[in-house]
Amino acid sequence: MMNWMSMATSALANSSSTTFLLHKTIIPFSLTKTSPFLISFTTPSRRFLSASSLPSLSPDIDFNFSHYGDGNSVAVSRRGSKVLLKGMTYSELEKWVQSHGYRPGQAMMLWKRMYGNNIWAHHTDELEGLKKDFKQMLSEHADFKALAVKEIHAASDGTRKILFTLDDGLVIETVVIPCDTGRTTVCVSSQVGCAMNCQFCYTGRMGLKRHLTAAEIVEQAVFARRLFTSEIGSITNVVFMGMGEPLHNIDNVIKAADIMVHDQGLHFSPRKVTVSTSGLVPQLRRFLHESNCTLAVSLNATTDEVRNWIMPINRKYKLDLLLETLREELSFKHKYKVLFEYVMLEGINDSNEDAKRLIELVKGIPCKINLISFNPHSGSFFRPTKEERMIEFRNMLAEAGCVVLLRPSRGDDQMAACGQLGKPGTLQAPMLRVPQQFQTAVGSSTHSL
Ligand code: SF4
């Protein structure tokens, strides 16, 4: 097994053209638990795919979801004349291999080398055991890689943030989160930026630049395993909680999740692949019908008034509709629990009344609730709820019979924590008007972050 540095170097060496190899620069680093580090690489020159250069930004008051597209994919499964292998499900790959005159068995051997057996092949040179003419056909007609590593940052708690450059020069972020229990989670992005403009989220400031293709999503998980398995052990869980609203890019997200759970490939358990949504009701319904992976709903408020403000998607799909849809859909699923995420904002959604309302709201829905500490970022005027208050809130839910967990912040010293990903430019989504009764709660902290 290669060590971490050589894996990173190899990942880059395999990532692009000869020109890039001649010009790459690797800055030496030291890996310590206490001092964050940064590895910097030159960005390879890449061919460009179509993408809008301007972000789609939320309007201030008149929230209109049609501004953000209809959720259809803009999937790019080809690069020029070549097909992107990681954008194909196994059955698509099998058909594609057969269309080039090879047996299905060759497709399975290729699949296993791309996704399994600790190979995670990025190049035909890594396809040991495959026939020479098959490899030749692959190098002529297919590309293995959709992403290039740009930088890797490590936070003091062991969390890693990987920055990837896409073909069109845009950058996405992926976070790898080791846990004491032996579980390691990779948090993948599904879009560049996000259209949803949740007021507590740094990514939301960016607006939406574009959807990621299935290949770009899958490869984040492949890279996480390739770069870090030898150092921190098996990567067991995937959460779609990086940049973007996954269900706004539902076609590519369902396809990517499908590829990730294939039992001859990456073989993540569907229970350990969690797709999060801010509450896109029609897409959520479709996801529950078409995927057996886990659904998380980012709830964060117990009244429409607060949710309309901090999560503008609520103006389109109100709390009642969201929760009634879950109640109805989950009644048809066996042993399935939805995960509710609740980011705790001091003075906004953390009162005893909120706890009581939350208990009522989730009644009849098989669920777990994660209480998440808010991660401050530049420009945000919210404050995290204090730990003692979070514990009291948790206890109220637990006493009412809810399954509830407190989730500590991870990776926040490297802006790798929940809600901290991305890099808004000068053109940013607007902050919405603060309802009268919360002006005191946010007023004193407006300039404090
Ligand atoms: S919390 Fe999620 S859905 Fe909301 S703006 Fe951030 S990335 Fe988008």
Residue range 354-399, pLDDT digits in tens: 999 999 999 999 999 999 999 887 777 899 999 999 999 999 999 9
Distance from C-alpha of 77 to C-alpha of 141, rounded to nearest angstrom: 12
Q: Using one digit for the tens of pLDDT, what is the confidence trace for 1-23? A: 333 333 333 333 333 322 222 22
pLDDT, residue 111, reads 97
Ligand 1 atom having least distance to the Cα of 421: 7
* Ligand 1 pocket: which of 196, 372, 374, 382 to mutate (most atoms within 8 A of CB): 196
End-to-end CA distance of the chain, in Å? Answer: 44
Whether ligand 1 lies within 6 angstroms of the CB of 245 is answered as: yes
Q: Taking the model in full, what pTM does it have?
A: 0.82
Atom of ligand 1 nearest to the CA of 311: 4
pLDDT of residue 422: 67
**Mean pLDDT computed over 197-204:** 90
Give φ, ψ of 295 to 5 degrees: -110, 135
How far is it, in rounded angstroms, from Cα 260 to Cα 266? 5
Query: Which spans in 331-438 are helix H?
Result: 352-361, 387-399
Protein residue closest via CA to atom 7 of ligand 1 = 244
Distance CA(372)–CA(392), nearest Å, equals: 14
* CA distance readout (Å), 32 to 25, 36, 87, 291: 22, 7, 36, 40
CB neighbours of 174 closer than 8 A, spacing ≥ 6? 161, 162, 164, 186, 187, 188, 189, 220, 223, 224, 242
Mean confidence (pLDDT) of the chain: 81
Helix (H) or strand (E) holding 116: none
Q: Does the C-beta of 201 come closer than 6 Å to ligand 1?
A: yes
pLDDT per residue over 52-109, tens digit each?
Answer: 333 344 433 333 443 333 334 434 477 778 999 999 999 999 999 999 999 999 999 9
Q: What is the dihedral of CA 137, 142, 144, 146, to 10 degrees?
A: 170
Using the predicted structure, report yes or no on whether residue 352 has a pLDDT greater than 60.
Answer: yes
Q: Which domains occur in the chain, in start order?
A: 83-143 (1.10.150.530), 148-432 (3.20.20.70)
The interaxial angle of helices 319-330 and 281-290, nearest 10 deg, is: 10
Indicate the SS3 state at residue 245.
Answer: coil
Whole-number pLDDT of residue 443 = 66
Percent of the chain with pLDDT over 70: 77
Average pLDDT over residues 337-345: 96
Determine if ligand 1 sits within 6 Å of the CB of residue 196: yes
Q: Are the beta carbons of 151 and 41 closer than 8 angstroms?
A: yes
Name the pLDDT band for 412 (thresholds 50, 70, 90).
Answer: low
Distance 39 CA to ligand 1 centre (A): 27
Q: Which of 173, 219, 245, 329 is catalytic?
A: 173
d(CA 167, CA 244): 18
- Is residue 173 part of the annotated active site? The answer reads yes
**C-alpha distances in angstroms, 113 versus 47, 108, 121, 141, 379?**
26, 9, 6, 17, 45
Question: What is the average per-residue pLDDT within 196-220?
Answer: 93
Among 42-56, 322-336, 415-429, where is mean pLDDT lowest? 42-56
Q: Please give the Cα distance from 180 to 273 (Å, whole number).
A: 19
- pLDDT tier at 208 (50, 70, 90 boundaries)? very high
Ligand 1: distance of its center to the CA of 217 in Å?
17
Q: Which of 13-17, 119-123, 299-303, 425-429 has the lowest mean pLDDT?
A: 13-17
Which residue among 172, 194, 241, 382 has the greatest number of ligand 1 atoms within 8 angstroms of its CB, and so is best to mutate? 194
Cα–ligand 1 centroid distance for 367 (angstroms):
21
